């Protein structure tokens, strides 16, 4: 089922997600719906907040992106990124393991808005998968960027919070317009 993606201006995007204690059949159905929604909108990552649930859950799939490389290490060994997709992260914890690099980002909750964001180029990730099993990996490039963007969502942090002051000033009219449009739909 394709779910409605909430846009900037909806308070749930600013809520910290609660930790997930148990992977239930209902949660697995939600995960399937999140993948369906993400693919229908040609996204590569979707956080639970973006479909109105403040919980520590995100889905990711960078398979379709061929012009921006990703790296993956499992148990210290290089691994195939495509075989690791699609990726479900529950209660993710990140540790930066390199210096920041700047790269372009968009967000399904901010249609038509793009900006360069500086983030660590690679991170170590600990999380649970959709079976409730612990997973650990190190990733770099696009995958690291997506993992960080989505994990931010789970803490109520948005990519506009990571923009430079200048970029945010430039985008201010578009951001205000989007926020106003979203708020007008909430009142109805």
Residue number with CB closer to Zn ion (31 or 60)? 60
Smallest distance, Zn ion to C-beta of residue 153, A: 5
What does the DSSP 8-state code read for residue 115? Answer: E
Binding string, 62-101, against Zn ion, x = CB under 5 A? ----------------------------------------
Smallest distance, Zn ion to C-beta of residue 154, A: 11
Q: Which of residues 100-119 bind Zn ion (CB under 5 A)?
A: 107
Residue number with CB closer to Zn ion (108 or 128)? 108
Q: Which of 4, 21, 124, 150 is catalytic?
A: 150
Smallest distance, Zn ion to C-beta of residue 108, A: 6
| Nearest residue to Zn ion on Cβ basis | 107
Residue number with CB closer to Zn ion (23 or 123)? 123
Give me the count of residues in the chain.
Answer: 188
Active site residue 177: no
What stretches of the chain show up as alpha helix (H) in DSSP? 25-40, 81-84, 141-154, 165-187
Distances (CA, A) of 89 to 1, 59, 135, 147, 185: 20, 6, 9, 9, 31
Count CB neighbours of 74 within 10 A. 15
Q: How many residues bind Zn ion (CB under 5 A)?
A: 1
Residue number with CB closer to Zn ion (121 or 152)? 152
Nearest CA-CA partner of 61 in 143, 151, 130, 121: 143
Rounded CA gap, 121 and 68, in Å? 13
Rounded CA gap, 75 and 169, in Å? 42
Smallest distance, Zn ion to C-beta of residue 13, A: 9
Q: Are strands 57-60 and 45-47 parallel, antiparallel or unpaired?
A: antiparallel
Count CB neighbours of 184 within 10 A. 10
Catalytic residue set: 150
Catalog residues that contact Zn ion under the rule CB under 5 A. Answer: 107
């Amino acid at each position: 089922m394709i779910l409605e993606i909430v846009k900037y201006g909806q308070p749930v995007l600013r809520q910290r997600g609660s930790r997930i204690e148990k992977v239930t059949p209902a949660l697995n159905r939600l995960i399937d719906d999140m993948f369906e929604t993400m693919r229908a909108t040609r996204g590569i990552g979707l956080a639970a907040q973006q479909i109105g649930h403040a919980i520590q859950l995100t889905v990711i799939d960078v398979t379709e992106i061929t012009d921006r490389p990703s790296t993956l290490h499992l148990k210290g060994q290089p691994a195939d990124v495509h075989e690791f997709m699609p990726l479900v992260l529950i209660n993710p914890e990140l540790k930066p393991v390199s210096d920041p690099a700047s790269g372009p980002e968009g967000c399904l909750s901010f249609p038509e808005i793009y900006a360069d964001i500086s983030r660590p180029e690679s991170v170590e990730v600990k999380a649970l998968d959709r079976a409730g099993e612990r997973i650990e990996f190190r990733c770099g490039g696009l995958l690291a960027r997506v993992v960080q963007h989505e994990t931010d969502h789970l803490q109520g942090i948005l990519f506009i919070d990571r923009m430079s002051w200048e970029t945010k000033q430039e985008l201010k009219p578009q951001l205000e317009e989007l926020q106003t449009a979203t708020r007008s739909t909430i009142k109805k």
